[in-house]
Amino acid sequence: MKTIFILILYCFIASGGRVEARVLTLQEATTLALKASEAVALADQQQQLIEEKYQEIYGGVLPQIDTTISYTHYPIIPNNEMNLPAPMPKVKIPLKKDYEASINTTVTQVLWAFGKVSTAIELAKKAKEASVIGKAIANQEIIYQTKLAYYTALFAKEVLDITESSYKNALINRDITKQRYALGKIPQGQAIKIEADVAGRVASKEEALGGHQKSLHFIKRLTALTADEAILLVAPSIEEMSSEVRHHIPNTPSKRHLSLVDPRLLALDKKIEMSDDMIKINRAAHFPLLAGFASFNYFGDSYEATIGSDNMKSMAAIGIKLTIPIFHGGSTEAVYRSAVIEKRSAVLEKEKVKKDLEVQLKNAITDYETAQRTLHAGLEAVLLAEKNYLFARKRYAAANVALSEVNDLELALTGQRVALAKSKFSLLQAQALIERVSVEDGMQ
């Protein structure tokens, strides 16, 4: 049965003075974190932006149709003087009529660009796929960070409980000391010693409380919970933890083949493909561009503001245009070489990330197996240390052992409890990383 560790947040309701707490499971915390994450929201925005960019690039491949409508009035028009044979006077002829109107429609279409256009479309498609992978990376990172924050909060709470228990044991030791010397004065050295033991536990408890509160702040930052909201985190018992571990990672990871599967590698694969497309696009910039065009112009002029259809004329044109790059000061070659370098960099980056992830996976497996071996041994050590301390405390009450021996055994018990908590935390932490970057063969 799952043990609920109460994460102390003093939030009292005025009417009853009770602490109202919300049970927050790991699954719920992950769901809240995904909803609240700015990184996930930014990935969504980036995905939408890439979709619009794709439509922009694809639209450039289709015929481009534009219509221009103009209506012009010339209030002042210069005249062109014409000399006639004498004795006839000079004739002044206006260069333009007072009003002009035109409707011009043009159509342009790229016919051949040596793969530049088709590759640009492929590049845009891959950018869309990369944006989907980017969203997966953001989700993965939030899930992983939430797990670590959740496990850290559980560990901090357990350490706080351990220090509080140690503090209570120190108080019990002090009470026993007072009872032993009920009819006389406690020796000064022993009185100082017992008070120092209690004070030391207070310092440890306050330090653990601070660490616990900081872990809560981070959990609430991830899940967008309010600062004054009390929560209960659910921690598995050692038996349940072992069962969950066997379910997620049967036996030990090193005995099975785990494939490295991480969206960051997929993103780098896509980056390499896109870099290759950029090389093709910039290579095509060295070759001619063939485009077709057509236009239709309906125009006319008149001395009257209303231009009748009798004064309008039509004209159409159709043709092709070949643009040949000859010399651009070396910029075309520089852009092409830059694209080649970017692809090489992307390949090297993938190799680096892959090697780093492989090392992370190996280290996580080592940490996992170490924690698995020490988990049950640590539990046994705690039980024995507790028995040893309780037995020594009884003997101290009977004046058969010194206070220093009881205190040392209590500190040993506290140390074993903290070590057991660290083993549980290390196991869960390693499991989270293994689940993040790998998958068992046959499960892809």
**Tens digits of per-residue pLDDT, 283-297?**
998 999 999 999 999
Please tell me the distance from the alpha carbon of residue 202 to that of residue 196, in angstroms, as a whole number: 10
How far is Cα 108 from Cα 319, in angstroms, rounded to an integer?
10
Query: What pLDDT does residue 35 have?
Result: 94
Q: Which domains does the chain have, with CATH numbers?
A: 3-61+126-285+330-440 (1.20.1600.10)
pLDDT at 148: 94
Most confident of 23-32, 53-62, 72-81, 234-243: 23-32
Q: Which residue has the higher pLDDT, 244 or 296?
A: 296
CB 248 within 8 A of CB 431: yes
**Mean per-residue pLDDT over the chain, rounded:** 86
Binning pLDDT at 50, 70 and 90, where does residue 240 land? Answer: low
Block residue for tokens 């240390």: 385
> One-letter amino acid identity for 104?
N
Contacts of 241 (CB under 8 A, 6+ apart): 375, 424, 427, 428
Pairing assessment for the beta strands 230-235 and 99-112 based on DSSP bridges? unpaired
Residue 56's pLDDT band, with cuts at 50, 70 and 90, is confident
Closest CA to 45 of 142, 135, 139: 135
CA-wise closest residue to 238 among 428, 46, 438: 428
**Sheet bearing 289-302, strands edge to edge:** 64-73, 99-112, 289-302, 312-323
pLDDT > 70: what percent of the chain?
A: 88
Identify the residue with better confidence: 320 or 10. Answer: 320
> What gap in Å lies between CA 224 and CA 217, rounded to an integer?
10
Instruction: Assign 414 a pLDDT band (cuts: 50, 70, 90).
Output: very high
- Tokens matching residue 100: 């002009």
Check whether 347 has a pLDDT greater than 50. yes
Concatenated DSSP letters of 212-260: HHHHHHHHHHHHT--TT-EEEEEE--HHHHHHHHHHHS-S-GGGS-EEE
pLDDT confidence of residue 63: 92
pLDDT in tens, 10-23: 333 333 445 578 88
Helix, strand, coil content of the chain in percent (nearest 5): 60, 20, 20
More confident residue, 92 or 47: 47
User: Average pLDDT in the 214-225 region?
Assistant: 93
User: Region 225-252: what's the mean pLDDT?
Assistant: 67
With 90 as the cut, is the pLDDT of residue 257 above it? no
List of residues 6+ apart from 377 with CB closer than 8 A: none
pLDDT, residue 292, reads 95
Tell which residue, 409, 349, 348, has the closest CA to residue 382: 409
Strand partners, 319: 293
- Per the CB < 8 A criterion, the answer to whether 156 and 208 are in contact is yes
Residue 413 above 90 pLDDT? yes
- Which residue in the block uniquely carries the two structure tokens 């090297």? 348
Average pLDDT over residues 354-363: 92
> For position 239, what pLDDT does the model report?
60
Average pLDDT over residues 349-353: 94
53 band by pLDDT with thresholds 50, 70 and 90: confident
User: What is the distance between the alpha carbons of residues 187 and 408, in angstroms, rounded to a whole number?
Assistant: 20
User: Tokens representing 140?
Assistant: 């993965």
* CA-to-CA dists, residue 108 to 60, 66, 116, 248, 292, angstroms: 10, 9, 17, 60, 6
* 326: Cβ contacts below 8 Å, ≥ 6 apart: none
Backbone φ/ψ region at 298: left (φ over 0), alpha (ψ -120 to 50), beta:
beta
Q: How far apart are CA 117 and CA 321, in angstroms?
A: 16
Mean pLDDT along residues 416-422: 93
Q: For tokens 């994450």, what's the residue?
A: 37
